Amino acid sequence: MVRTLIIVGGQWGDEGKGKIIDALMEKADAVVRCTGGNNAGHTVVVDDTTYKFHLIPSGITHEGKLNIISNGTVIDPDVLCSEIETLEKSGFTITDEKLIISSTAHTILEKHKKEDNPTTNAHSKKIGTTGRGIGPAYCDKINRSGVRIGEFVQGSSDSAKKLKPLIKDTATIVNGLIDNGKTVLFEGAQATLLDIDHGTYPYVTSSNPSAGGILTGSGVGPTKIDSVVGVFKAYITRVGGGPFATELGTDEQTKSEESASQLKEKRSSEEYEKEFTSLIAAANTDDEYAQGRLLRMQGYEYGTTTNRPRRTGWFDIVAAKYAAMINGLSSMVITKLDVLSNFKEVKLCVAYEIDGKKVTDFPLDIAQLEKAKPIYESMPGWDDDITSAKSFAELPKNAQNYLKKLEELCGIPISIVSVGPARDQTIVLDGKTLL
Residue 305 has pLDDT above 60, yes or no: no
Asked which of 34-48, 160-174, 290-304, 400-414 is least confident by mean pLDDT, the reply is 34-48
Residue 306 has pLDDT above 90, yes or no: no
75: domain CATH number is 3.40.440.10
Asked which of 12-21, 349-358, 365-374 is least confident by mean pLDDT, the reply is 12-21
Residue 203 has pLDDT above 60, yes or no: yes
Closest CA to 11 of 293, 233, 297, 298: 233
- Same domain, residue pair 137 and 266: no
Asked which of 15-24, 178-187, 392-401 is least confident by mean pLDDT, the reply is 15-24
Final residue in a domain of this structure, among 278, 295, 312: 312
Question: How far, rounded to the nearest angstrom, does the alpha carbon of residue 382 sit from its chain's CA centroid?
Answer: 26
**Residue environment code for 29-49, b if the CB has 16+ CB neighbours within 10 A, otherwise e:** bbbbbbbbbbbbbbbbbeeee
57 Cβ neighbours under 8 A, 6+ residues apart: 21, 31, 32, 33, 67, 68, 69, 187
| Mean pLDDT, residues 395-408 | 98
Q: Element (H or E) spanning 5, and its range?
A: strand 4-9
pLDDT reported for residue 365: 95
Q: Has residue 19 been placed in a domain?
A: yes
Identify the burial level of 11 via C-beta atoms within 10 angstroms of its C-beta, where 0-12 means exposed, 13-18 middle and 19 or more buried.
buried
pLDDT reported for residue 351: 98
Q: Has residue 61 been placed in a domain?
A: yes
Q: List for the chain the helix, strand, coil content (%; round to 5).
A: 35, 25, 40
Q: Has residue 350 been placed in a domain?
A: no
- Same domain, residue pair 207 and 89: yes
Final residue in a domain of this structure, among 270, 290, 312: 312
Q: How many domains does the chain have?
A: 2
Percent of the chain with pLDDT strictly greater than 90: 85
pLDDT reported for residue 150: 98
Q: How far apart are CA 238 and CA 12, in angstroms?
A: 6
Final residue in a domain of this structure, among 268, 286, 312: 312
**Structural domain that includes position 281:** 251-312
Using CA atoms, how far residue 341 sits from 43, 55, 269, 337, 385, in Å, is 22, 32, 21, 8, 7
Q: Has residue 413 been placed in a domain?
A: no
Using CA atoms, how far residue 233 sits from 245, 280, 313, 392, in Å, is 16, 20, 10, 17
Q: Has residue 322 been placed in a domain?
A: no
pLDDT reported for residue 264: 83
Q: What is the pLDDT of residues 120-145, one digit of tens each?
A: 777 766 676 778 999 999 999 999 99
* Prior bond of 202 cis (ω within 30°): yes
- Same domain, residue pair 124 and 272: no
302: confidence class by pLDDT, cuts 50, 70, 90: confident
pLDDT reported for residue 177: 98
Residue 277 has pLDDT above 60, yes or no: yes
263: confidence class by pLDDT, cuts 50, 70, 90: confident
Q: Phi/psi of residue 3, each to 5°?
A: -115, -25
Residue by residue, DSSP assigns 307-369 as -PBPEEE-EEHHHHHHHHHHHT-SEEEEE-GGGGTTEEEEEEEEEEEETTEEE-SPP--HHHH
Q: Has residue 321 been placed in a domain?
A: no
pLDDT reported for residue 44: 74
- Same domain, residue pair 258 and 228: no
- Same domain, residue pair 155 and 112: yes
Q: Element (H or E) spanning 248, and its range?
A: none
Q: Element (H or E) spanning 394, and its range?
A: none
- Same domain, residue pair 106 and 207: yes
Q: Has residue 42 been placed in a domain?
A: yes
Measured distance between the N- and C-terminal CA atoms of the chain, rounded to whole angstroms: 8
Q: Phi/psi of residue 422, each to 5°?
A: -80, 160
SS3 21: helix
Spatial contact of 50 and 273, defined as CB atoms under 8 Å apart = no
pLDDT reported for residue 42: 73
Q: What is the pLDDT of residues 66-84, one digit of tens each?
A: 999 999 999 999 999 999 9
- Same domain, residue pair 116 and 258: no
pLDDT reported for residue 157: 97
pLDDT reported for residue 25: 94
Q: Has residue 135 been placed in a domain?
A: yes
Q: How far apart are CA 412 and CA 229, in angstroms?
A: 10
**Average pLDDT of every residue of the chain:** 94
- Same domain, residue pair 151 and 286: no
- Same domain, residue pair 153 and 26: yes
pLDDT reported for residue 423: 87
Helix pair 397-410, 317-327: axis angle to 10 deg: 50
pLDDT reported for residue 262: 80
Q: Which of the given ranges, 16-25, 303-312, 344-353, has the highest pLDDT on average?
A: 344-353
- Same domain, residue pair 14 and 101: yes
Tell me the catalytic residues.
14, 42
Using CA atoms, how far residue 254 sits from 7, 162, 167, 296, 402, in Å, is 29, 40, 42, 9, 27
- Same domain, residue pair 112 and 141: yes
Indicate whether this model's pTM tops 0.85: yes
| Mean pLDDT, residues 407-422 | 97
Residue 307 has pLDDT above 80, yes or no: no
- Same domain, residue pair 227 and 144: yes
